[in-house]
Structure 1
Amino acid sequence: MRLILVRHGQTPSNLVHKLDTKIPGPGLTPLGEEQARALVETLRGERIDALWASSAARAQLTATPLAHDRGLAVQVHGGLRELDAGDLEGRTDELSVREYLRVAFTWADGDLEAHLPGGPTGREVLERLDAGVAAVAASVAPDGAAVAVSHGGAIRVWVAARAGVGAAFAASNPLLNTGVVVVEGSPDQGWRTLSYQGDPLHAPTAPLEESGPAAEPVMTPAIQPVME
């Protein structure tokens, strides 16, 4: 099958680089809503037999315009939700963000027992993500196609661990809001990545040092956005 993984649109937490992984979580900003509408045209040429989203409000809101356009219901699976931040939940400081990402890509690199304080192990996280992907795959024919709206960290770690991208590549390539990763395969036969990073509505204009919470870009200190 063809699996089109989409990161949700921009949220208020993205604007302040907040580790915000609880359910249901925030909605979308006005720009995020615009990005969700633009996703309809981004995927215009794609076959879509089923449409899924994580249990987070931002993922379901991002999927809604596409659902209306294609006449599909948005199916929800909790396994597609973002990587749990544990005791770092709600933090916006750079050290916490870097630690969150360090542990996440440690999982993708094979250390499945690593975990954040108060958070699950990599083994638990990948099992959860695998369950979500398996549900999506089971909803279409073997030659079908589905869209799953998920989260930056979840998508990057899963494709790094399961679809041949590798931790080093995923760690150095942020997935922007409504960015798209396309993979093909099946839970039984395995997965391979066909394309990474779709066409988000607005690309960042500032230099990127590395990706922040849930793959939101971290700006250089001279142009760091004002915290609000």
Structure 2
Amino acid sequence: MQRSVIRPWTTATVALLGAGAIAAGPVATPLASAVSVQILLAAQDITIDLIRHAQSEDNAGHVLGTIPPGAPITSVGVEQAQYLADPANPQHLADPSYYAGIYASEFLRTQQTAAEWLGAAGAPDTSVSILGGLNEINAGWLEDGDLSSLLVQVGYAFAPLMWTMGSFWVPMLGSDIDPNGVAFNDRVTDAIQTIYGNTIGDPDSSDSNVAFAHAGTIAIWTLMNVRNPDFGLVLEEMLDTRSPLANTGQVVIEGNPTDGWTLVSWNGTEVSATPDLFTSLFVDWRDFTTAGQIATWHVIEAFEGGDHAEILAAMETGFDQVVNAFVAFPQDVFDSITSALGC
């Protein structure tokens, strides 16, 4: 009896896997019950200043530590964090009272960075909300590896870089936290959506937020999601600092979960909101190739949970996602080309 029920779902899952090789869309299509709410939320954009933590003891010792709570910041890190409150700093932060919310990951290094900034800004008692979704990309088998080793560097960076290229299913070997790009993207996106919901939920607050996170998490999620990714800036940063973002470096994004996110600046360098033709076509292709991957992973997760209602919901959402990707892709490409030509 049970076998006869599972077979149709298995067939549908295989179909999704096949579609996943050629379909796309970076964000799962919302269920019908959520559509009306998201349409309302789309009217308001917010700004999020994503800040890498100050220098930690792991940074100083070239240790790859990606499991919370992790190592504390160093004395150099304390100075870096306090400098965020100094008007002489070209990237100094506004007064803490200006922000709708202040957030940090579950790691000591992000929370201590936030605390040192708040102390230097004269607001040591300001509340910092902790979001696990902002945690660093889990290193799996490479945890506690020596970052002085090229093998560890390449091994840790390979999967996330492939995710930014649209290959979400490339695995982070040994990780059950971030087994692939879909799982990583889901957890960080959940944190970003929490920030968004908190912001628009308070009509008296500003639309700006500060979130203290990690170089890998900030860089990879941003490149996977914004409409105008600037890989050149990231490469320049890596050549200078051997990291996609220096300690206390900042990435500013604006937008909303429904209409998408735009990269405003990367470590102080402004980024054009209108990407060139090559970047636009890349984003179109990225979105096209990821929808099926996302849909299939969500169906697999639902199967693992064993709840029939969740399985059916995941299949329905995934099917809509794949179909929408096929329908949207030609128009997206056409729009990118005509926009670049000034038509």
Q: Could you say which TM-score interval applies, normalised by the shorter chain?
A: 0.7 to 0.9
**Counterpart amino acid of residue 71 in structure 2:** P
**Distance in 2 between residues matched to 1:198 and 1:166, nearest whole Å:** 13
**Counterpart amino acid of residue 170 in structure 1:** V
SS in 1 for 2:85: helix
**Which runs of no fewer than 5 residues in structure 1 stay unpaired?**
200-228
Bigger share in strand: 1
1:85 aligns with 2:139: yes
Partner of 2:211: 148
User: Deviations 1:99-128 (Å, cap 9, x if unpaired)?
Assistant: 211211111111111112212111100111
Aligned length: 199
Partner of 2:72: 27
48-57 or 161-170, which deviates more: 161-170
Partner of 1:165: 229
8 Å CA contact 1:51–1:67 kept in 2: the answer is no
Compared CA separation, residues 171 and 134, structure 1 to 2 (3 A): farther
8 Å CA contact 2:100–2:209 kept in 1: the answer is yes
**Distance in 1 between residues matched to 2:163 and 2:233, nearest whole Å:** 14
1:57 aligns with 2:108: yes
User: Deviations 1:163-200 (Å, cap 9, x if unpaired)?
Assistant: 2315565355331000011110011221001110149x
SS in 1 for 2:263: strand
**Distance in 2 between residues matched to 1:116 and 1:167, nearest whole Å:** 21
58-67 or 31-40, which deviates more: 58-67
8 Å CA contact 1:108–1:167 kept in 2: the answer is no
**Counterpart amino acid of residue 14 in structure 1:** N
**Which runs of no fewer than 5 residues in structure 2 stay unpaired?**
1-45, 87-91, 238-243, 270-343
Compared CA separation, residues 126 and 167, structure 1 to 2 (3 A): farther
User: Deviations 1:90-149 (Å, cap 9, x if unpaired)?
Assistant: 111221111211211111111111112212111100111101111111121386110000
SS in 2 for 1:28: coil
**Counterpart amino acid of residue 117 in structure 2:** L
- Give the superposition deviation at 1:67: 3.6
- Give the superposition deviation at 1:13: 1.0
> What's the C-alpha RMSD, in Å, of the aligned pairs?
2.0
Picking from 195, 200, 217, the partner of 1:136 is 195
**Counterpart amino acid of residue 95 in structure 1:** L
Picking from 117, 120, 125, the partner of 2:173 is 117
Bigger share in helix: 2
Which of structures 1 and 2 has the bigger CA Rg? 2
